[in-house]
Amino acid sequence: MGIWESARKHPKLICSGIALPSRFARFPLSQFLIFRFSTFPLSRFPHFSLFYFSLLSIVDFPLRSAPFRLLRSRQLMTKVATPFLADADSEFYLPADAFFRANLPTALTFDDVSLATLYSEILPKDADTSTSLSDALRLQIPIISSDMDTVTESRMAIAMALNGGLGLIHYNMSAKEQVKEVARVKRHIHGLIQDPITVTPDQLIGDLLSMIEMKRFAFSTFPVVDPQGILTGLLSGNVVKDRYKTKKVAEVMTPRAQLITENEAAVAKDPITAADHFFSAHVGLNKMLVIDDAGRLRGLVTISDIEKITNELKSRRKPARDSQFRLVVGAALSPVRTASGELDRNKILSHVGHLVDEELDVIAVSTAHGHTAGVGDVVKLVRGAFPDLTIIAGNVTSAAGVSFLADCGANAIKIGQGPGSICTTRIVAGVGIPQLTALHVASVAARAKGVKLVADGGITKSGDIVKALSIGDAVICGGLLAGCREAPGEIMEISGKVYKQYRGMGSLSAMKAGSAARYGHDKNDSSQKVAAEGIEALKEVSGSVDDVLGNLIGGVQSGMGYLGAANLAQLRSKARFIRVSPAGQKEAAPHDVIEVSTRTSSA
């Protein structure tokens, strides 16, 4: 017998413990009231077994014409469908704390979980992906290129910053060369070039040609100054030619009296806007020379730089710049030690000092095991000498590790031990925690200490980034960027396909090149055998960083749209997780079809 037939047959309907008069059984049953199962003593409700029809009772009665009486009717009618459905969602889809506790003692990574969608009024294109690593450093996108010698040097760092992210320049090079790499990024596009390359009136054009060739300058126009720095003219590239090599600069330059200049007081507040107005007012000029009241040269602005910057301002994804309109950049720092095994404090402070002189934005103390006395000492040392410098430290996978590095002075903590595609730490050393569980455990301490979390490793697709950002503040990518033409790896062709070299910093070749300290070894110590914790591999060339980041950020914004998250803070607060079975993982990917690829890649 069905529910409705049973309800009609019985003289009374039991509704949330309330008896309805039997006359209501004659009314047509077409309106829904939704209630829950309950159990009742048989002695009180002889017409029913161990449960009553409160799960789905359909009652239709004419409210105007038929008299009716329903005890506690006001309380009953408030139990509508929405709370019940919301309770069903909350029972299956859990916030991070409840979800990871429910899955103890199993540790989970990205493919083990999926995020539940929510009501949304957010279009993906409107989702704000900006994040911060400290009060002083804000990024437009939450993606950082890894400090690996086959991923990030100045070219990659420039591309990352132009797309709103950050590049961490590796330390498998001399200290002097790392400083130069940082300088290349900071001087890539200048709003106001405060130290332009100048020439003197008595120099020969032939000498300038030799200097341009030796230093590989991509320009040939120079301000002309006297020994006191007073602007005396401008040497145009049109006359820097071999036919004029015997002439002096003073003979062929445009004299000061014919130049249109700008006072530094007029451009100090906003050189970009001031230069934009200058070039609009003076048609045909492509250099703005900035002088002080005494006539000394204080800077140079080019129209090409201004046009690039103003075009960036019109784009939706803005570059990551510092307060002086320079691109942001970071550098990795090795815990250098003396022959006795002690930290070489003077060498560390000297190197960081040179990086800071080049306006470095962030230093990353990068080791495989960050919860150590040595790493803590380096962080304390740098923090004490440079109180305003943003410091990233790691790597750890525990709340205790996060708390330790935060107390030492780090602003952001790198999470991840062994999740990378070319890392073998978990196999070689038997340590490491699957990445998503490690992130959640670390987030407990991060919230308490007020520091940021950076997920380092294990990212293979944009969906992984969304899941990582549901707990952390940013991600570090290596393998996803190693195939880009901006990466420094060697290019090779195999069977008609083009590949780039990609190696773990724990591989033997990388450690011999300088990263041994990252794994607690000395590259100069040949008396002990070094256990590699990484491999060497190849990545197929994937095109430009612009294309790769465009696809990744598009996926992140889609994920935010599905959760109704306008920004990353809302993504973290709204995220609800559910465990995915192996069959569910298979279902998530394209299956049971032959995929036709229309992608194109260029080296």
Instruction: Please choose, from the candidates 140, 182, 143, 156, the residue with its C-alpha nearest in 3D space to the C-alpha of residue 484.
Output: 156
Secondary structure (3-state) at 140? coil
**Confidence bin at 331 (pLDDT 50/70/90):** very high
pLDDT the model gives residue 552: 97
Q: Tokens for 502? A: 């990609």
Per-residue pLDDT of 435-448, as tens digits, reads 999 999 999 999 99
**Confidence bin at 28 (pLDDT 50/70/90):** very low
* Cα separation, 361 vs 131, whole angstroms: 15
Mean pLDDT of the chain, nearest integer = 83
Q: How many H helices and E strands in the chain?
A: 22, 25
Provide mean pLDDT across the span 355-361.
96
Helices of type H across 360-461 = 373-385, 399-408, 425-428, 435-449
Residue 213 burial by CB count (10 A; 0-12/13-18/19+): exposed, middle or buried? exposed
Q: What is the 3-state secondary structure (H, E, C) of 47-88?
A: CCCCECCCCEEECCCCCCCCCCCCCCHHHHHCCCHHHHHHHH
Cβ partners under 8 Å of residue 196, min gap 6: 222, 223, 297, 299, 300
Tell me how far CA of residue 599 lies from CA of 462, 487, 542, in angstroms. Answer: 17, 20, 10
Delineate the domains of the chain, giving CATH numbers in brackets: 3-88 (no CATH), 124-188+326-588 (3.20.20.70), 205-314 (3.10.580.10)
Q: What is the 3-state secondary structure (H, E, C) of 331-386?
A: EEECCCECCCCCECHHHHHHHHHHHHHCCCCEEEEECCCCCCHHHHHHHHHHHHHC
Per-residue pLDDT of 485-499, as tens digits, reads 899 977 788 888 888
**pTM of the predicted protein model:** 0.71
pLDDT the model gives residue 27: 42
Which entry of 184, 298, 321, 518 is annotated as an active-site residue? Answer: 518
Per-residue pLDDT of 132-172, as tens digits, reads 999 999 999 999 999 999 999 999 999 999 999 999 999 99
Which entry of 184, 321, 408, 423 is annotated as an active-site residue? Answer: 423
pLDDT the model gives residue 139: 97
pLDDT the model gives residue 25: 43
* Cα separation, 173 vs 514, whole angstroms: 7
Provide mean pLDDT across the span 382-400.
97
Peptide bond into 238 cis (omega under 30): no
Active site residue 72: no
Active site residue 477: no
Cβ partners under 8 Å of residue 138, min gap 6: 130, 131, 132, 320
Peptide bond into 105 cis (omega under 30): yes
* Cα separation, 33 vs 24, whole angstroms: 14
User: What is the DSSP annotation of 236-248?
Assistant: -GGG-SGGGTTSB
Q: Tokens for 546? A: 């612009």
**Confidence bin at 507 (pLDDT 50/70/90):** low
Tell me how far CA of residue 583 lies from CA of 79, 385, 456, 586, 587, in angstroms. Answer: 37, 54, 27, 5, 6
pLDDT the model gives residue 413: 98
Look-up: residue for tokens 């009486």? 69
Per-residue pLDDT of 462-487, as tens digits, reads 999 999 999 999 999 999 999 998 99
Highest mean pLDDT pick, 210-219, 316-325, 578-587? 578-587
Is it the case that residue 529 has pLDDT exceeding 80? no
CA 130 to chain centre: 8
pLDDT the model gives residue 193: 80
Comparing 592 with 526, the larger pLDDT belongs to 592
Provide mean pLDDT across the span 237-256.
94
pLDDT the model gives residue 348: 96
Is it the case that residue 55 has pLDDT exceeding 60? no
